[in-house]
Amino acid sequence: MNAKAPLAESSLRESGVREELVQACKVLYAVKAAGDGLGGHLSFRLDEKRILIKPRPVSWRRLDPEELIVIDFNGKRVDAAASERSAVREWPIHAQIYAARPDVQCVLHAHPNASTIMAALGIAVEPLDQDCAAFAGRLPVLDNGAVSIATPELGDEVARALGTRGALLLKNHGCVVAGADIAYVCVTAYRLEKVAETMLRAATLTKLPVMSPERIAAILQAREAAEPSGQGKMNHERWQMMRDYYL
Ligand SMILES: [Zn+2]
């Protein structure tokens, strides 16, 4: 057996991940899930020691695959010398979630406008439509005084608040989305920001909560019973459609 084969295979895999992560950055920016694009990062776990990540100073819209950098679980760049272009201040969000969640391969942290305002105003998601129903009662909010998550201890706090969920709001700060693949993270981040826009719009039209606790409980109970089992397949379909619309 060729000893070089596994190495060639892993570098082939990494180049595929780099391509898809670049597509994800562009789509997330286009759908406003990356906020104004001036902060935040998207990452992918390459293995148990290395994280591929978009550094903060690199544009979400015009980045190239080689502008993504590789860091270890201590936030140290390991693929080249660190530079101003490789700054990733809130790396502990990514490292500590990967450490706590073996099922997670992809993590987004961003400062999207509607999600951040929704959490700041203390608005809880009501199942006003199907996207809202997917998040209602499942969207934890961490109020940590709006500090940057720049230490492993703060990262651990984020990982604990996320628990086994796929999304978390950081009050007065932004959001975290984590999942098994890039498709899940992109679809979830897009839906989360859309849900927040829906709730903010509802808040301008009426007094919230608009639904009674009984009505919300009935819808959420129906959701549990009806939730399709093929969520992963649906996320891949949606991710393909998002690339078609926004790239
Ligand atoms: Zn942040």
Is residue 3 very low, low, confident or very high in pLDDT (cuts 50, 70, 90)? low
CA–centroid distance, 158 to ligand 1, in Å, is 12
In a domain, 172, yes or no: yes
Cα separation of 38 and 56, whole Å? 7
pLDDT digits (tens, 9 = 90+) for 30-44: 999 999 999 999 999
**For residue 107, how far is its CA from the centre of ligand 1 (angstroms)?**
13
Residue 182 in any domain: the answer is: yes
64: CA distance to ligand 1 center in Å? 22
What is the chain's mean pLDDT, rounded? Answer: 94
Distance 219 CA to ligand 1 centre (A): 33
Ligand 1 center from residue 150 Cα (angstroms) = 9
Residue 229 forms part of a structural domain: yes
| 52 Cα: distance to centroid of ligand 1 (angstroms) | 18
Distances in Å between the Cα of 211 and the Cα atoms of 5, 51, 192, 208, 218 are 58, 42, 20, 8, 11
Count how many domains the chain has. 1
Per the CB < 8 A criterion, the answer to whether 109 and 93 are in contact is: yes
Flag whether 7 is in a domain. Answer: no
The predicted pLDDT at position 137 comes to 94
Distances (CA, A) of 21 to 41, 69, 120, 124: 11, 12, 29, 31
pLDDT greater than 70 at residue 149: yes
Report the separation in Å between the CA atom of 39 and the middle of ligand 1, taken as the mean of its atom positions. 7
CATH number of the structural domain spanning residue 192 = 3.40.225.10
Residue 124 has pLDDT above 60, yes or no: yes
Residue 214 maps to a domain: yes
Residue 3 lies in a domain: no
**Is 65 within a domain?**
yes
Q: In the prediction, which pLDDT does 4 show? A: 57
pLDDT of residue 224: 82
Range of the domain at 189: 16-246
Mean pLDDT of 87-95: 96
| pTM, rounded to two decimals | 0.95
Q: What is the 173 CA–ligand 1 centroid distance (Å)?
A: 6
Question: SS3 of 200, please?
Answer: helix
100 touches 161 (CB < 8 A)? no
11's CB contacts (< 8 A; 6+ apart) are none
Is it the case that residue 5 has pLDDT exceeding 70? no
